[in-house]
Amino acid sequence: MQKSLFNFKHMHDLLKGKKGIIFGALNSSSIAWKVAEKAHEQGAVFTLTNTPVAMRFGELDELAKKCNSEIIPADATSVADIKNLLEKSMEILGGPVDFILHSIGMSLNVRKGRTYDDLDYNYYMKTLDISGLSFHKLLQLARKLDAINEWGSVVALSYIAAQRTLYGYNDMADAKSLLESIARSFGYIYGRDKNVRINTISQSPTKTTAGSGVKGFDGLIDFTERMSPLGNATAEECADFTIALFSDLTKKVTMQNLFHDGGFSSMGMSFKAMNQYNKSFDNPEELD
Ligand SMILES: NC(=O)c1ccc[n+]([C@@H]2O[C@H](COP(=O)([O-])OP(=O)(O)OC[C@H]3O[C@@H](n4cnc5c(N)ncnc54)[C@H](O)[C@@H]3O)[C@@H](O)[C@H]2O)c1
């Protein structure tokens, strides 16, 4: 049998010679953590960043050691912190970067149990700033400092609540809509000027610190598993897809929100979900 050129096991060095910055690795469940491990495996060098608080509670040192990376603390809402991060990263890595992962999300309204019809507006602004605006700050500064090489690739993580209403996702839905819009608006400018591509990955519900904070998360993850013909996408699979987007195999993909969800976003009802739903009725055969 002829061996496929694209057998993933034989794919090495997809990111060889590439430099990057990875935001958002908190612990070994984080999507960004898996991306860092795979980027390292594929030959990239990169810096890691997270908030000073996350560093205290997280396990970032362990990842940095494993990936031979330096950690640069930064609050993604602070222009000064991001500027410092970009400048230090270029210093450490010896020039502009080829890829950046934005894997950041946080809502104090979700954390404090404030519902969407009873939002605290200070928290709301924070949600939009941390989970949406931070992406604009990063891109604007990167462009001004010329911190991304020609044909570079930037990826941010999103969720389908940007397009469809899902119970419990709260003000994070608005933040994700903003994030995806920024990817398109800046994707035009950065693409036109520097051939830099900007995309968002809309990932399945995933068991991580941020994911588990969503109301009714266990029910949600079971529902999407039943609805998706390929099942939920794991954090590790999300990392594989991210590596593909950082690699030169996807050079003309830009300004897209790419669903990485086992098919969920195109489904209306599946047999598995219908079966489970019918269990809630005494006489399902009476339904029509
Ligand atoms: N887990 C899911 O179900 C799921 C689904 C779709 C999309 N996403 C998105 O994936 C991304 C990564 O989340 P995760 O699931 O790996 O969870 P996670 O909790 O491991 O990662 C979230 C990260 O955001 C960081 N962060 C929070 N505030 C910050 C700030 N001010 N500055 C810099 N960093 C800050 C946290 O420290 C943490 O590292 C997020 O954008 C999230 O919305 C997650």
124-179 pLDDT per residue, tens: 999 999 999 999 999 999 999 999 999 999 999 999 999 999 999 999 999 999 99
Per-residue confidence at 6, pLDDT binned at 50, 70, 90? low
Q: Are strands 257-260 and 148-158 parallel, antiparallel or unpaired?
A: unpaired
Q: What contacts 221, CB < 8 A, 6 or more positions away?
A: 205, 207, 232
Unique residue bearing structure tokens 């969720």:
159
Is 3 inside a domain boundary?
no
Q: What is the pLDDT of residue 11?
A: 72
Contact between 108 and 210 under an 8 Å Cβ cutoff? The reply is no
73-83 pLDDT per residue, tens: 999 999 999 99
Looking from the CA of residue 158, the nearest atom of ligand 1 is 7
Residue-range definition of the domain harbouring residue 112 = 12-286
CA distance 85 to 128: 21
Is 2 inside a domain boundary?
no
Q: What is the pLDDT of residue 9?
A: 54
214-255 pLDDT per residue, tens: 888 999 999 999 999 999 999 999 999 999 999 999 999 999
Q: How far is CA 125 from CA 24, 73, 119, 171, 269, in A?
A: 20, 22, 10, 10, 35
Q: What is the pLDDT of residue 2?
A: 47
Looking from the CA of residue 205, the nearest atom of ligand 1 is 3
- Ligand 1 pocket, 77 CB below 6 A? yes
Pocket test for ligand 1, best of 106, 179, 234, 236 (most atoms within 8 A of CB): 106
Q: What is the pLDDT of residue 158?
A: 98
Q: How far is CA 66 from CA 33, 90, 94, 188, in A?
A: 11, 21, 20, 36
Per-residue confidence at 288, pLDDT binned at 50, 70, 90? low
Q: Is the pLDDT of residue 1 over 50?
A: no
Is 67 inside a domain boundary?
yes
% of residues, the chain, pLDDT over 70:
94
> Where does residue 206 rank: exposed (0-12), middle (13-18), buried (19+ CB within 10 A)?
buried
Is 25 inside a domain boundary?
yes
Is 250 inside a domain boundary?
yes
CA of 207 to the centre of ligand 1 (A): 11
Is 1 inside a domain boundary?
no
- Ligand 1 pocket, 107 CB below 6 A? no
Q: Mean pLDDT across the chain, nearest whole number?
A: 94
Strands, sheet with 197-203, edge to edge from the N-terminal-most edge strand? 45-49, 19-23, 97-102, 148-158, 197-203, 257-260
* CA-proximal residue: ligand 1, atom 5 (nearest): 205
Q: What is the pLDDT of residue 56?
A: 85
CA of 52 to the centre of ligand 1 (A): 15
CATH number at residue 254: 3.40.50.720
Per-residue confidence at 187, pLDDT binned at 50, 70, 90? very high
Contact between 58 and 73 under an 8 Å Cβ cutoff? The reply is no
Q: How far is CA 181 from CA 30, 52, 80, 133, in A?
A: 24, 28, 24, 11
Per-residue confidence at 280, pLDDT binned at 50, 70, 90? confident
CA of 73 to the centre of ligand 1 (A): 15
Please compute Rg for the chain using Cα positions. Answer: 20
Is 265 inside a domain boundary?
yes
Number of folded domains that form the chain: 1
CA of 283 to the centre of ligand 1 (A): 43
- Ligand 1 pocket, 104 CB below 6 A? yes
CA of 158 to the centre of ligand 1 (A): 10
